[in-house]
Structure 1
Amino acid sequence: MSFEIKVSLKDEAVKKKLQELLTKVSDTKPLLNQIGHTLIDQTEENFEDESFFGKPWTISKRAELEGGKTLQDTARLASSIDYEVSGSKLTVGTNVEYAAIHQFGGKAGRGKKTVIEAREFLPIDSDTKELPKESEDEILEVVMSFFT
């Protein structure tokens, strides 16, 4: 199972500056690799802090009963996050089939009777499908340092 999320920059100034700078470079792969690393780092911080950019996740029943961290029983999900650069496209995500239900929340299990709360771990606002301001700011820093 796989899913795709398209994310857009909401800050028009950031978007315009990024497009302007990208026209000046013929090989965007090194820049996209730096942005990919940045987004992976942000995802790892979300897992470490058990939050989405400081907004705490609801503690899972398993973590509450057994101890440990929410979404990190086996660390499979956290360790599966990766990125890929293909041409001028950067994809960040996971191939773990249960990732979507944890990112977006919803009903799961037999008969879809179990409600799973969204625990956003990827740097994507699940409601707006946009990068959070923190991600945009850090990406802008990466872009600016790349060109200086």
Structure 2
Amino acid sequence: MLSLKDATQQIQSLMDTVMRYQRRRTLFTRLGRVMKTDTGMNFRRQQSPDDEPWEPLKFRQGRILSDTGRLRNSIHFEANDDQVVIGTNVKYARVHQFGAVIKPVKKKVLAFPDGRGGTAFARQVTIPARPFIGIEERQINLIHDAMTQWLRDITRGRRNA
């Protein structure tokens, strides 16, 4: 495994080479798949992209950020010849990625299930950041490997590289 600095430098060098090719969508599609798969692994492992475990749940049992699976299943990517963008259209994703303090808007207190069949009340609730998508050392290495393989495939004349 490469160090973060070495991998980043090598990716920049690879990108300089990649940009010489006109049909890059297949590369960016590969990178999108790599990142989507890695993000899915973060949900399964209940950890951030830098391998830090997510803060445990306080009011219910079960898997973190996976109550219904909606957020996990919403991760998608779009690729073209110039870039890949990965993300989600779920409105509450930002709160879980970065954390937030939730305060009531129309009432004096928030009401929510307490996990024991009752209702809990609070003037505010702090949702801890539980990043599920991002680029850290592990992802840099995955990207580096995918780019290297794509360039090998291109130079060997594989059509669907």
TM over 0.5: yes
Partner of 1:106: 100
Q: Distance in 2 between matches of 1:99 and 1:19?
A: 30
TM superposition shift of 1:59? 1.3
TM superposition shift of 1:21? 1.9
Higher alpha-carbon deviation: 52-61 or 92-101: 52-61
Partner of 2:19: 23
Partner of 2:62: 68
In the alignment, is the contact (CA less than 8 A) between 2:11 and 2:144 conserved in 1?
no
TM superposition shift of 1:55? 1.1
Q: Distance in 1 between matches of 2:35 and 2:91?
A: 20
In the alignment, is the contact (CA less than 8 A) between 1:60 and 1:71 conserved in 2?
no
Partner of 1:47: 43
TM superposition shift of 1:12? 4.5
Unaligned segments of structure 2, at least 5 residues = 106-122, 153-161
Flag the 1:47–1:134 CA change in 2: closer, same or farther, 3 A: same
TM superposition shift of 1:23? 2.5
RMSD: 2.0
Answer with 1 or 2: which has the greater Rg.
2
TM superposition shift of 1:109? 4.4
In the alignment, is the contact (CA less than 8 A) between 2:18 and 2:151 conserved in 1?
no
Percent of residue pairs bearing the same amino acid type: 27
Partner of 1:138: 142
Deviation sequence 1:87-109 (CA, Å, 0-9, x none) = 41211000000000100112124
Deviation sequence 1:58-98 (CA, Å, 0-9, x none) = 11224xx3x21010000000000000013412110000000
Unaligned segments of structure 1, at least 5 residues = 1-8, 125-130
Q: Distance in 1 between matches of 2:150 and 2:74?
A: 27
TM superposition shift of 1:18? 2.6
Flag the 1:147–1:99 CA change in 2: closer, same or farther, 3 A: same
Structure 1 consecutive aligned stretches of length 4 or more whose deviation exceeds 3 Å:
9-12
TM superposition shift of 1:140? 0.5
Partner of 1:57: 54
Flag the 1:141–1:15 CA change in 2: closer, same or farther, 3 A: closer
In the alignment, is the contact (CA less than 8 A) between 1:32 and 1:90 conserved in 2?
yes
TM-score by length of 2: 0.74
Q: Give aligned pairs, total.
A: 130
